[in-house]
Structure 1
Amino acid sequence: MADTKREIERKYEAAVDASGETRLPDLTKVAGVSSVLDKGVAELDAVYYDTDDLRLAADSITLRRRTGGDDAGWHLKLPVSPDVRDEIRAPLAGAVPDSLAGLVRSRTRGDLLTPVVRLLSSRDVRHLLDAQGRLLAEVSTDSVTAERIGAHGGTARWTEIEVELADGGDPAFLDAVEKRLRKAGLRPATSASKLARALAETEPRRTWEKPPAAPRTAGDHVLAYLQHQYDALVSYDPAVRRDLPDSVHQMRVATRRMRSAFRTYRRVLDRTVTDPIAEELKWLAGELGVDRDQEVLGARLQARIAALPRTLVLGPVRSRLRIWSVARRHGSRRKIIAVLESKRHLELLTALEALLADPPLLPAASKPATKVLPKAIRKDYARLATRMERALTLPPGDDRDLAMHNARKAAKRARYAAEAARPALGKPAKRFGKRVKAVQSLLGDHQDSVMAREALRDLAVQAHAAGETAFTWGLLYGQEEAAAQARERELPTAWKRASKAKSRADLGG
């Protein structure tokens, strides 16, 4: 069984005195520190695993098997933000645990994880305590020997200082410690992790590679946008497996943005190549959507109930909603994991990687972005305008609800088109995208209301069949109906603003 720890730490280059010993300043002078407790020296032996081409290291991910110290076992570290990582732990075992291997599957695609580096560390640990004896942070002086595993293996040695914040601690405390360390001559480490430094100092010297040029052509900008979405698709995979908040939504959004870019910029990329991939992205979004849509709907209904006066909540309303939600989500999480583990999903990621490495560019791709991208956006705008006109002229009813749903999808596509073009077109694309997003949000809330009313009717029927009063469900239905009507009244103004933003700048075309 794996468990997770949020790790907030900073690393520093060790300073040495005339005798060659590592110097650590008096840390009781740090604000809030009452005492420093010497915890002794631990001998750590860690073997780091990766693919042959170091895909995990490329994404600042580390996977190791460590013995020694008080947390021996397998550790997978996933970056969250600068200085912050989630460490997922599993018991000591011979092979990489399945629970950890799955979390990096989107990177490895089934390739073997093999030892690449061994780190032997002599760790001198001190605890920084407050006046009540509570742990504020752990400071470690690590004397490290790195051994590259393989035919061209080398070795490296260094000493570094780690400062790790105690669980639940205020990150601002690390600033106070750093101020004291800097005053003593210590400087932040140039490598983000021990593994990164070990790889840099033990691998054969590589030929210097020129950094990629800034995007200039239409193809450059479209590919840069697609690369960003691909990176999101891969990086959210472990978050979805861990059931982190909003992870399914963000992964699904990445699939939609890629599909939208394929359709919008079909003069840049060959559709005979992108269409099959777009269909697979549609499949993945659909599989992810089962859980996400239910999550959004359940949260909406819970908020409606919470906002009602107690006197209007009649019967076991909350428990019925909970039962209804659980029944609709039963097995969906297990299904999502199965999808992410499937050969079909891994083949999709491989196809996207191949497309980005060798893109099927069309002649328009080599033209200036300021000429090609605005034309594509204007086509999406025209499509949206047609759907909006139909939606706004139909009388209330099912046909109008469907027309608004279709307009919402067109708005999303136009917004994503502007989003992809923003680095090339600047403020006009930003303004247009912002205005279209406002339209999309209104249409989205309208569609959510349609789905909520269907659910409320279903809940009312179930309540009635069980001999419960359906009063509260009917009341909520009326609220949702009123909310939909309010969105319909707001739409003409929002649409006018979006049209004005497009006309004023013509998106730089």
Structure 2
Amino acid sequence: MSAKQKPKQDEPREIELKLELASGMAEDLLAHPALAKARPLPKQSGQLHAVYFDTDDYALHREGISLRIRRKKGKAVQTIKAEGPHKGIAMDRGEWETPVDGELDLSAATGTPLEKLVADKALRARIQPAFRVETDRKAFEAKFDGAVIEMAFDRAKATGGDKATAFSEVELELRQGDAGALFAFARRLSEAAPLRLSTLAKSERGYRLLDGGPLSPFRSEKIKLSKDATCAEAFQVIARSCLAQMVQNESLVRLTQEPAALHQMRVGLRRLRAAISLFRAQLLTDSESAEIRDNLRWAGQALGAARDLDVFIERLRSLEDAAPDPSQMEEIERRRTEAYRDLIETLESRRFMDVILQTAAWIEDGAWRAAGENGRKSARRHSARDFAKAELSRRFKRIRKLAKHLRDVDDEERHELRIRIKKLRYGTEFFASLFKSGKAQKRRKAFSSLLEELQENLGDLNDLAVGGSFALYLPAVPPKRLERQRAKLLDRSEAALAAFAKADPFWL
């Protein structure tokens, strides 16, 4: 079985939420009233010494598998973990534990995703210690919202090669009950100390030390929906993926301040807002969902200034002969530095952290999922495939209608058309797995290509219309040349819209 294949129903599962704790806030967290009622777990607490194993080319890691031996109080336990089918904020992994005498026991891989890999004798022979993680742990068991949750507060240090990194984190592992309780409990704990959602397992921190190269931004992963998924199930899978992309890149933005990381973080946020828009009338009509929309709009505005400067600097560097003089570039770079300073301050604020926690909790167990009147309950259970057909058709029809008057409307209305096109493009991506036939896939690729072309052309038109606060740094463009550029873009947009209007919907 492939390591990333869908797990069997009887596989042991680990559902775990990780949170980063700001330095110096441990005592505030441990003094939270919710932990005063929690039962200490002395057997799970103490010093943990873990060695992680892999091949020299990280074959296990590439397959989503971690293999470790953890020693505590003279006893050693071997653990195999494997990623679940859907990556999200909560880590949902297969987990298999075996007491050992301190050495690897690869016979315990039988029946696990590791079995297929270690069947290769050459690969098996190359498995060796890769890095180690030393942890000082305090563990508790808490009952919250009908769930039993094991909480571990860890002060840890990962060491790989000649590099090391120290970190503090909170692990919330579901022992009994619904996964939504993990997020609700995390929000409760964040009242005492700022907690940041994290998608980094301890093993991943070790691999990052070994890699040593620049960290790549996290791009959106393909959404995989089951053919019989309900609307509620589909929205959760989609929203989890979008939020995970945002959170993964947020950590890179704080670490590297790289434009590509901020771009992908913003893409994750826009995808999430588009998903909410798509499902809004069907599922998300409650007041909590409205609050989430407002919060995410604020978060998007917080990312805007720095990203706009990144795009503008990239544009200036592409001008070559017409680029601004060095003093102007120095002023723009200074403004970018200030924008990133403000951005990092926002990302590290309690408000931003709570917006992310609140959004995650809402996705998992928000008011929109609660049992209510028959109409709401029926909407949640409605076929996602049928919903996708109706929603994509409605949006397609609306865009075709607006497109007929492209030259007659003002710049603001054209910008609104671009936003509608972007949402339809994301919807095309979200629901692609529900329409798998060869004909549907061919149509979808052509459909997506047209949407991308339209989005780009209308975006360029919007740039010409808005100008922006950076116009003084651009070389002066004669009005007639601007008008020619505008006319050319309108021609391109009209041609693309004409082709789009005749496109065959892949969902029908």
Alignment map for 1:47-62 (pairs within 5 Å): 55-56=17-18
Taking the TM superposition and a 5 Å limit, the aligned residue runs for 1:93-112 are: 98=23
The match for 1:352 is: 359
Greater C-alpha Rg: 1
Query: Which residue of the other structure, out of 312, 316, 321, is the alignment partner of 1:297?
Result: 312
Tell which deviates more after alignment, 285-294 or 318-327: 318-327
Contact persistence 2:50–2:70 (CA under 8 A): yes
Gap change, CA 1:449 and 1:144, over 3 Å in 2: same
Assess, with a 3 A threshold, how the Cα gap between structure 1 residues 483 and 328 changes in structure 2: closer, same or farther.
Answer: farther
Which residue of 2 is the match for residue 439 of structure 1? Answer: 454
1:465-490 superposed Cα distances (whole Å, 9 cap, x missing partner): xxxxxxxx125988766544432221
* 1:241 counterpart residue number: 254
Paired with 2:309 and 2:233, the residues of 1 have a C-alpha distance of 38
- Superposed CA deviations along residues 93-152 of structure 1, whole A, max 9, x for unmatched, are xxx884999xxxxxxxxx9xx9967454799xxx9xxxxxxxxxxxxxx99652289xx9
Amino acid paired to 1:233: M
Is this contact kept in 2: 1:119–1:145, CA < 8 A? Answer: yes
Aligned length: 341
Q: For residue 271 of structure 1, report the CA deviation from its aligned partner.
A: 2.0
Match of 2:298 among 258, 283, 293: 283
Select the residue among 321, 324, 327 that pairs with 2:328: 321
- TM-score, L = length of structure 1: 0.55
SS in 1 for 2:431: helix
Provide closer, same or farther for how the CA distance between residues 143 and 185 of structure 1 changes in structure 2, counting only shifts above 3 A. closer
Instruction: Name the CA shift for 1:321/1:147 in 2 (closer, same or farther; >3 Å).
Output: same
**How far is the alpha carbon of 1:328 from its aligned partner?**
3.4
CA deviation string 1:40-66 (max 9, x = no partner): xxxxxxxxxxxxx95349xxxxx9xxx
Contact 2:49-2:133 within 8 A present in 1 as well: no
How has the CA–CA distance of structure 1 residues 449 and 159 changed in structure 2, closer, same or farther, with 3 Å as cutoff?
Answer: farther
Alpha carbons 2:225, 2:431 under 8 Å: kept = no
Residue 226 (structure 1) aligned with residue 235 (structure 2):
no
Q: How much does 1:191 deviate?
A: 11
In structure 2, the CA distance between the partners of 1:235 and 1:457, relative to structure 1 (3 Å rule), is closer
Q: 1:506 to 1:286 in 2, by over 3 A?
A: same
Q: Is the 8 A contact 1:222 1:261 kept in 2?
A: yes
Residue in 2 that maps onto 1:375: 390
1:378-428 alpha-carbon deviations (Å, 9 max, x no partner): 22223333443333334xxxx3x3332222111111111222221213435
**Contact between 1:143 and 1:157, CA under 8 Å: does it hold in 2?**
no
Q: What corresponds to 2:473 in structure 1?
A: 459
Residue-by-residue CA offset, 1:321-362 (whole Å, 9 max, x unaligned): 313413533521121122112222222222222222225143
Aligned-partner SS, 1:268: helix
Report whether the alignment pairs 1:505 with 2:430: no
Task: Say what the alpha-carbon RMSD is for the aligned residues.
Answer: 4.9
Q: How has the CA–CA distance of structure 1 residues 237 and 159 changed in structure 2, closer, same or farther, with 3 Å as cutoff? A: farther
- Shift of the 407–279 alpha-carbon distance from structure 1 to 2, 3 Å rule, reads same
Deviations 1:432-459 (A, max 9, x none): 33321221121123323445x5556423
Q: How many Å separate the matches in 1 of 2:73 and 2:479? A: 65
Contact preservation (8 Å) 1:387, 1:406: no
1:438·1:494 contact (CA, 8 Å) conserved in 2? Answer: yes
> For 1:329-478, what aligned pairs fall within 5 Å after superposition?
329-359=336-366, 360-361=368-369, 362=376, 363-394=378-409, 399=410, 401-426=411-436, 427=440, 428-451=443-466, 453-454=467-468, 457-459=471-473, 473-475=475-477
Residue 226 (structure 1) shift: 0.8
| Corresponding residue SS for 1:347 | helix
The answer to which of 356-365 and 253-262 deviates more is: 356-365
Question: How far 1:186 moved relative to its partner?
Answer: 1.0
Name the amino acid aligned to 1:253. V
Q: How does 1:15-30 map to 2 (within 5 A)?
A: none
- Judged with a 3 Å threshold, the aligned counterparts in structure 2 of structure 1 residues 439 and 206 are, in CA distance, closer, same or farther, namely same
Q: Does 1:493 align with 2:495?
A: yes
Aligned partners of 2:124 and 2:69: how far apart in 1? 20
Preserved CA contact (<8 Å) 1:280 1:348: yes
In 1, are the aligned partners of 2:50 and 2:68 still within 8 Å (CA)?
Answer: yes
**TM-score relative to the length of structure 2:** 0.55
Closer/same/farther in 2, CA of residues 183 and 262 from structure 1, 3 Å limit:
closer
Distance 1:328 1:491 in 2: 34
Q: Spell out, residue by residue over 1:251-292, the C-alpha distance to the aligned partner (whole angstroms, 9 max, x if none).
A: 112222222221221243232232210111111011101100
Indicate the percent of aligned positions where both proteins have the same amino acid: 19
- Corresponding residue for 1:32? none
Partner amino acid, structure 2, of 1:186: A
Q: Is the CA contact (8 Å cut-off) linking 2:250 and 2:265 kept in structure 1?
A: yes
